[in-house]
Every structure is written in C-alpha cells, then in structure tokens.
Structure 1
Amino acid sequence: MPRALVKVLAHTPDPERAVAVAARLCYSPRSVENLSDSLTDEEISSLIGKIVEMGHYSPLEHAVFTFGIDNISRACSHQLVRHRVASYSQQSQRYVTLTKVSAITPPSIEADAEAKALFEEKLEELWAFYSALVERGVAPEDARYILPNACETKIVVTMNARELHHFFALRLCHRAQWEIRDMALEVYRAIAPIAPGLFKGAGPGCVSGACPEGEYSCGRAKEVRAELSQALPA
C-alpha cells in the first residue's frame, strides 16, 4: 500500500486539446477563433507527439493540474517545494495544533525492530515536549521547533504539464530519495490516465532513451518503463 495518498482536485478541461490548440497556433495561420476547428483526436495526438519530440514544451504549460497529497513527511514536502514552477498550500504547524503522534517511519527503520523501537520512543518524547510547551501557553508556532522532519503533513499542489514532466524526470528516478519517489509515482498514477497523450514518455531519462546517470545508473530501466506504462490506459 502506498504511503502517500494523492487525489486530483481539479484540472484543465480536456487538457490534451488545450495543449494541441496552443501548439497549433504556433505553426498555423489560423485565427484564434477557429484554432480548434476540425481538430481530431489523431491530430491532437500527433501534435503533442511532435512538440515533445522537438523539445517545444511551452504549449504543455496550458494544461494545469491541482492535486492533494496526504500522509507524507515534512522531509518529503521540503523536497517537493523545491520545484518552484508550482503553487503550494500546506497544512500549517503554526495554526494547527498537533494532538497526537503522527509521523512517517522510513522502511529501513521499520525493518529493524530495535531501530523502530528507539525511533518510536524518541518520537513520543518529542511529542511530550511539544504538548508540554503548548500546555504552558507557548504558541504552537514556537512549540513546533521541537518537532522532527518525520512529522506527517498534507499539501495541495498545482503544476502545469511541463513542470510535471520535469518533476517526473527527477523524482521517478530510483536515485531520488525513497519517499519522494513513492509520492511521485502516486502523482503519476493519479494524473497520467487523465491525459495519457501528455504524459506518455514522461519519467526519468531511461524511459525514452539511455540512462543519463552514467556510473550511478541503477540498471532498472526496464522495470521503470513497465511500472509507468501500467498507469496508462491500454
């Protein structure tokens, strides 16, 4: 079961057509009012394929997706918000007072009974410190300084299709940190079926060509391609 829970909240209506219409404008003498006239599904697919192959990604920016992410750590969200061509609204530790231990445990710790016990013990201690500070009247915005990166968080994200391509290229690679890769895979599984023409071929370099990681390659290109293709409609 995936750790990150992803739900699409909104997206551009008919995103593939929106991108194709924008691409058509770049290469056609048509006026804006008749850009979408007689634009068939085959032409939409062909236009998108051509601009992606050419590296002409700006038309992809006209397709926008908003999705919510639950059950990730602050360590993960700190990586996510480094993708700057996006909009974020995150659950605040300033305005939301935490009432229970809610944290993400890394698999490496989960698999080691002693490490897990120590991890959980220290989490309980930190939460006890946090609760004690709040009870003494310390504002949550100050009490939160004691909280760990493991804290579970929720966030709403808006990205356009071009930025999603960039996001998937970096974060679906097996060299990405495990949690953000797991989260990126759930984002891909949620969004790619909505506009498969836009995201066919999206992912790390090994999806459409040779791995760019050189000596650091994980050697799992075939596995990655299969994993992503399963998310697309047959």
Structure 2
Amino acid sequence: MNVVFGGTNINATVIEKIKKGEIIDSSELSPESISAGYARVSRDSRSVTELRESSSREVANARKSNEIIFFDMGHHSIAEHAYFNFDVLGISRLAIEALESHRLAGYTEKSQRYITLKGDYVTPLELSSLPKDMPDQFHRLVKKQNKLYYEALPILIEFQRQANPELAKEADRKKDEGIKDRLNREKNTLESWAKEDARYVLSMATEGQLGFSVNARELEYIIREFKFHPLAEVRGMGERFYEIASGVAPSLIILSDAESFEKRFGRPLEEKFMKEFDQVLSEECKKVIQPKNIQSRNGEVELISYTRDGDRKILTALLKKGLEKSGISIGYRDAETYASNLTSNQEEGRKFLLNIFKDLTEFDRLPREFELSTLTYRIVTSATNFAQLKRHRMMTLLPGFYDPNLGYTIPNSVIEVGFDKKYIDEMNRASELFNEIKKYNPHLAPYALTNAHRRENIVKMSVRELYAFSRLRCDKHAQWDVRNNANKMVELVKEVNPLTAMFLGGKHEFSEIRRKLYEK
C-alpha cells in the first residue's frame, strides 16, 4: 500500500507571486493561510480578501492563529477551508470500503468493470499470526480465484457478443477499419459487461487504487478513526495520511497524534471513546442477547420503516413554501390541513404535483421538501453491489459484516455459460477459509471472501435522495446487481408514498414515465 501526496489548495496571492517569477518560501504553499484568513472574518472589519492576502504573507502567524482558533476557541470548521488530494495505491477492496465509508470526501476508484485485472492482491500483515498452514491456504485460494477469472473472461466476452449481435457487428467493423481499441465503444461495452460479471469470483484482497480528496477537518477525523482500526492495512493508510498532512498543514492536523498534542498543548488527548467503543458495545450486546448463527431473512430488499403520511408532510411543506413565496403567510398546521385534503383526494393531489413539476427533467433535483419523508430499508448486497451502493454518501448506510450464510450472488451470464458450479466451488472454499480465520481474527476473515459474498445493510434515505439514487441506479446503464435492488426499493416506496414517488425511475425511462403520467 502506498499513499502519495497529490496536492492541496494554495492561496491565490501565492499563485500570483509564482506567475510573476518571485521566489517563495515552501511554507507559503500550505493551505493554512486560507484557513487563517477566513477564520478572522468574523472578528476583523477588513474585507475577506485583505484578510486572506495578509495571512499569506505571515504563514508562521497564520499557523499560530489557527491553533488558537481551532483548539482554544473550538472553531474546528476553519479546517474545512484546507483541502488535500492523495493518490492511494495498492490497497485492498476491503480497505477501500473502510476509507470510502466517510461521507465528506471525494473518491474516484479504479473500476473492475472497465479494467482487466492482473491478479494483484494484498497480503494482510495479520496472516503471519495465524497457524502456519493458513497463509498458504490464503495464497492458493486467491490464485485459484484469479485463474478462474481469466478462464471465464474470454468465454463471457463471447457470450456477450452472441447476446448482442448488433454491438458485436459494429465492434468488428471498427476493428477492421483500424480504429484503436480505446475508441471502439462497442467493443469496450461488450468487454466491460463480461468483466463486471467475471469479477464476482475475485477476492476482497484484490488490489485497487483511487484518487482521494478531502478537507482537513474530515481528514483528521479519518486519521483518528483509522488509528484504532482492527486492520493493519487501514491503520497504515491512516499513518501515511497523518505524515503527509501534518507536514503540509501542522496547525490544522492537531487531534491526530496524542504525543504531539500533549507536547504542544500540555494536556493529554482523550481517545478512550474512539479506542474502546466497539469493544464495549460488543461486550454489552452479548449480555443482552444470545446471538444465533443463522437468522430468518425476508428477501433481499425490505422496507422496514418509513415516515407515516410522507406524502402529506411533503405536500404541506410545498404548500407553505409556495404561498410564502407569493407573499402569503401561512402556518404549518394550516398548510397541513390543505395538504390533507390533497392526500385524501388523491386525484387532486396528483393534479397539483403534475402541475408544479410539469417542467421536471431527468437531470433536475427534487426540492428539499422531499427530505421530510424518510425510508429505512434492509438490503442484502453482494460486495460488488455494495461497491455501488456506498457511493451514495448522503444517505445513512450501516453495513453489516460479510456473512457466508447469506449465500452468493452469481451473475446470469456465468450461469448461462456453465461456469456457475466452478464459481460456487471457489466461493465455498472461500467461505471455509473465512470460517477458519474467523476463529482467530474475525476482522481479518473477510479478506478470504469474494465479490459474490453478501452482507446485510440498513439504509436510510429521504425520498429526495431516493430520486437521485433511482435516476442513476434504475437506469439501464447501471450495473445489473445494484439496479435489481434499486428497482425493488422504488417499487416498495410507491406503495407508501403513491403521490410523491410517481416520478421515480432511471434516466433512460424518464420520458416514458412522463408520457404515462401526463396522458392520464
């Protein structure tokens, strides 16, 4: 695993000096002067531009100012003005999940759908602490999974060619004309469909890479959390983030290292909660309940709770907003009375919504009033499916542990070409090794699992977020695994929010959704 510093935001005053060929000190390249300048705006009458420019000329003072404002005064938000970019390389799929669980950051990840993998994988350090035969079992397992991936891939490509003859014909025509593979869209499409299904047999230890961008406040939280993570790979990633960020902006990365903190501020850094909470929670839960290994399941997508009268709540807020924008003052309870009339007479409610959203397109966001109705789902996903789901970071996502008892997700194409038994055999072997490793280290065990293994997730989102989710994940271009779940999620919410859910669906089908709604 390697973390490379990719860049940071630099004060524009410094950028101008560089353009003019002026000599600058390396400390001026830190984003700290931006944070310090903006921090002063609440207590200094000078313009924000003057404050920022002034800070750029006095980096040492800016750092001191940041420490006082950040720690002594408790205004941690000033760290949000500093931004870092990192190249994260040679990291396992499992560790990527740990990093990408944090909301307030940007991630662009190497895709297993579009890139033919080379068989690289991470060997977790903890393997060396297991009985001596287990590391060998792990390496043999991953190599066999990779071998099966390469065996299946050309067969799945041919399957996609046969299933999509027009695409295959156009791909061949472009190839015959000498068009480069990277510009042959049809060929790349067919191959990407094959790759996205072949990868289900690959290990969670498979190497990936990503570009990671984050503000200093969120970065510090990630560093602190990773410090106590049960996986050495994740802890090592956090240490590299700290080494890089504290060297660039020491005044903004304050709460990440107990020794440095005590040296600078003369008091110990309280970390007991972050360090021990998971262990305390585990111990207390075992006192309350005796867990069973296998629980009853109710399908892969279940709506377990939702806002009662969600349509009415959204309509109430829309009525209040619309009238107030016309200069008419109305209280919430009065607006609620009118909204109740619209929901009790659904034809009137439907007419109201169709009128106000007559110009809605598939690229428009629904207004914030749609956040008043929330939905909580229980969703069983494969690791591949989860990789798509976790990208929607505005929702609440509580993933459970990977559990072989939940079975495996096998792509239809793999079944069609007769490779399902081979895939299942490898997944069974992975599950067996998982169960053996789990006896010694339950956190290490998921490295043995594949992209086809499953976990149970609790997902809470507003109807507004579901609209954004459905536009992407119900679309025909979405990966089929997450699309299946997305379609079921939409189907379930239409039963409880029949009015405000009527525009839900993928981008590709939005024109047809509109046509059917407005023709009635």
Q: Same fold, TM exceeding 0.5?
A: yes
Q: Offset at 1:213?
A: 3.2
Distance apart, 1:23 and its partner CA: 0.4
Query: Paired residue for 1:161?
Result: 216
Deviating runs (4+, > 6 A) in structure 1? none
Q: Where is the helix percentage greater, Structure 1 or Structure 2?
A: 2
| Residue from 47, 55, 69 that aligns with 1:31 | 47
AA of the residue aligned to 2:237: M
Tell me if structure 2 keeps the 8 A contact 1:168–1:203. Answer: no
The residue type paired with residue 108 of structure 1 is: E
Q: Answer yes or no: is the 8 Å Cα contact 2:92–2:207 preserved in 1.
A: yes
Match of 1:20 in 2: 36
Structure 2: how far apart are the matches of 1:204 and 1:140? 45
Q: Does 1:123 align with 2:177?
A: no
Task: For 1:86 and 1:68, locate their aligned partners in 2 and report how far apart those are by CA, in whole Å.
Answer: 14
Structure 2 match to 1:210: 270
**How far does the alpha carbon of each residue in 1:69-93 deviate from its partner, in whole angstroms, 9 at most, with x for none?**
1111000001100011000011000
Deviation, structure 1 residue 28: 1.3
Does 2:68 match 1:50?
yes
Alpha-carbon contact 2:125-2:233 (below 8 Å) kept: no
1:71: which partner in 2? 90
Partner SS, residue 5 of structure 2: strand
Contact 2:36 / 2:78 at 8 angstroms: preserved in 1?
A: yes
Equivalent position amino acid for 2:221 in 1: H
SS in 2 for 1:9: strand
Match of residue 197 from structure 1: 251
**Match for 2:198: what amino acid?**
A
Separation in 1 of the partners of 2:209 and 2:53? 42
Q: Give 5+ residue unaligned stretches, structure 2.
A: 11-29, 158-193, 262-267, 278-520
Contact kept, 8 Å, 2:220 with 2:255, in 1: the verdict is no
Contact 1:20 1:44 in 2 (8 A): yes
Question: Which ranges of structure 1 fall in alignment gaps of 5 or more residues?
Answer: 218-234
Aligned-residue Cα RMSD (Å) equals: 2.3
Which of the numbers 5, 13, 27 marks the counterpart of 1:8? 5
What SS does the aligned partner of 2:251 have? Answer: helix
Deviations 1:149-169 (A, max 9, x none): 110111110001111111112
Matching residue of 1:226: none
SS at match of 1:213: helix
Alignment correspondent of 2:239: 185
Other structure's SS at 1:196 match: coil
How many Å apart are 1:37 and its aligned residue? 5.4
SS in 2 for 1:82: coil
Identity %: 28
Shift of 1:51: 2.0
Question: What secondary structure, in the 3-state scheme, does the structure 1 residue paired with 2:75 have?
Answer: coil
Determine whether 1:152 maps to 2:207: yes
Match of residue 481 from structure 2: none
Q: Deviations over 1:192-217 (max 9, x none)?
A: 21112222442479955233239939
Report what 2:465 is aligned to. Answer: none
Paired residues of 1:89 and 1:156 also in contact (CA < 8 A): yes
Question: Greater shift after overlay, 132-141 or 36-45?
Answer: 36-45
Q: Is the 8 A contact 2:217 2:252 kept in 1?
A: no
Could you tell which deviates more after superposition, 158-167 or 192-201? 192-201
Following the alignment from structure 1 to structure 2, what is the Cα–Cα distance between the partners of residues 193 and 169?
A: 16
The C-alpha deviation readout for 1:60-109, integer Å capped at 9, x for no partner, is 1111111101111000001100011000011000000113x211112232
1:33 deviates by: 3.1
- Residue 220 (structure 1) aligns with: none
Report the Cα distance in structure 2 between the residues aligned to 1:183 and 1:214, rounded to whole angstroms. 17
In 2, the alpha carbon distance for the partners of 1:204 and 1:79 equals 22
Deviates more, 1:153-162 or 1:193-202: 193-202
Aligned mates of 1:80, 1:55 — CA distance in 2: 26
8 Å CA contact 2:37, 2:53 repeated in 1: no
Residues 94-145 of structure 1: CA deviation (Å, up to 9, x unaligned): 000113x211112232355311111111111111111111021340011111
Question: SS where residue 252 of structure 2 aligns?
Answer: helix
Preserved contact between residue 83 and residue 215 of structure 2 (Cα < 8 Å):
yes
More deviation, 38-47/5-14: 38-47
**Higher deviation after alignment, 39-48 or 127-136:** 39-48
